[in-house]
Structure 1
Amino acid sequence: MNIILLGLPGAGKGTQAKIIVEHLHIPHISTGDLFRKAAQERTALGLKAKAYMDTGELVPDEITIGIAEDRLAQSDCKEGFLLDGFPRNLNQAHALKSYLAASGKAIDHVIYVKVDERLLFERLTGRRVCSGCGATYHIAYQPQAVEGRCNSCGGVVIQRDDDQADTVAERLNINKALTDQLADHYKTEGSLRVIDGSKEIGDVTEQLLKIFAAP
């Protein structure tokens, strides 16, 4: 089964991706992991991607597409895959469709884990991280026993720059525009499946598994 997973930052895509790949026995292909692996292996495209990442720039579509296609050509993707973070825009979506069509394949499901932006803003700005061991907390959902201190190592718990209100708002706005375009595109193609990501993790998983169980 060939799947694309869509969702804004904080929607819980990573948690559900792990469950999907274990359930369907397919590889989880994350764009970030692809870039890092290609850079570590010093492939031509990987080195080009690294040059952009090192300066904080977005990796151009042609490089992203090339790296993704190289990964999809590997043998473990023969029976299916879960794409997370690719395609990011319509240009990449069209390239993916053409690549798959060349071998008689297509995307079976595009799953959009949808969560209201106000809830996402609360989830992201409330995150806290231990500067010592990296343990994660949330001021509302998973607070520390002693405020400002890690339960595990006693280290100082901080709010990362990425979780500051202004940064979160900008990330959500940019990602929403891109995700909405992709969702509209795949809705037109008939492959979009929208699930409510605001529910408890188990409830979200139940919605996902119903999609895969459907005839």
Structure 2
Amino acid sequence: MRLLIMGPQGVGKGTQAALLSEHYEIPAISTGDIFRYNIKNQTELGKEALSYTDKGELVPDELTNKIVKDRLAMDDAQNGWILDGYPRNAAQVAALDEMLKQLGVKLDAVVALEADRDVLMKRMAKRAEEQGRSDDTPEAIAKRLETYEKETAPLLDIYRERGLLRSFNGVGEIDEISKTIISKLDEQ
């Protein structure tokens, strides 16, 4: 099973990706985790990524694409994976399409989690409080949600047109949401 999990910050992507990963016995791959792994292990890709993050800049698409391609080629991803946090824009969709073509595999589905903006704001404020995250200020949260709406949400239409999009309510009991997602994925 090869899946994308998409949705705005705070909707529960990481939580659901972990549960789906366990159920399907495939790795949940977060682009943030990929960057941290490469930086920690001082790979060439990690060193290059660090040159941007150290300056507070976003890692360019070209480098992000290289890192994702490298990760998808690893042994534990041969039978499938769940990508969380990628693609984030149309250029990355095209890059992922090319990667899949080169690997000789197809995307099975795109899981989109949805929730109202006020719910997301409350969730992230609570997360900031519990985890002491300095990047979860109301202003930063609002900016990230705006960036998602502007750059990433339009990608859902691409996957809808391809017949791959499966949308789910991201509000409710975690286990119930997971059961609903798995039930729909298993139907296909």
Give the shorter-chain TM-score range: over 0.9
Written as runs of structure 1 = structure 2, the 5 A alignment for 1:12-91 is: 12-91=12-91
For 1:195, what is the secondary structure of its paired residue? strand
What is the match of residue 151 of structure 2? 178
Aligned counterparts of 1:208 and 1:113: Cα–Cα separation in 2 = 10
What is the match of residue 164 of structure 1? 137
Aligned counterparts of 2:71 and 2:127: Cα–Cα separation in 1 = 32
Output one character per residue of 1:108-136: Cα deviation in whole Å (capped at 9) or x when no partner. Answer: 0100011111211122223454xxxxxx2
Higher relative contact order (CA 8 A, sep 6+): 2
**Aligned residues of 1:161 and 1:167 also touching (Cα < 8 A):** no
Written as runs of structure 1 = structure 2, the 5 A alignment for 1:98-177 is: 98-129=98-129, 136=130, 160-177=133-150
1:200 aligns with 2:170: no
Higher helix share goes to which structure?
2
Higher-Rg structure is 1
Uncovered stretches (5+) of structure 1, i.e. residues with no partner = 130-135, 138-158
Report the CA distance between 1:182 and its aligned residue: 1.3
Residue identity over aligned pairs, in percent, reads 39
* More deviation, 73-82/97-106: 97-106
Aligned counterparts of 2:44 and 2:37: Cα–Cα separation in 1 = 12
Aligned counterparts of 2:46 and 2:126: Cα–Cα separation in 1 = 34
**Aligned residues of 2:2 and 2:106 also touching (Cα < 8 A):** yes
For 1:123, what is the secondary structure of its paired residue? helix
Aligned length: 188
Task: Tell me which amino acid in the other structure corresponds to 1:176.
Answer: E
User: Please, what TM-score do these two structures have when normalized by structure 2?
Assistant: 0.93
Report the CA distance between 1:160 and its aligned residue: 4.1
What is the match of residue 9 of structure 2? 9
Aligned counterparts of 2:133 and 2:3: Cα–Cα separation in 1 = 32
User: Please, what TM-score do these two structures have when normalized by structure 1?
Assistant: 0.82
Output one character per residue of 1:170-202: Cα deviation in whole Å (capped at 9) or x when no partner. Answer: 111112222212111111111111000012212
Output one character per residue of 1:28-59: Cα deviation in whole Å (capped at 9) or x when no partner. Answer: 11101111111122222211101111111100
Uncovered stretches (5+) of structure 2, i.e. residues with no partner = none
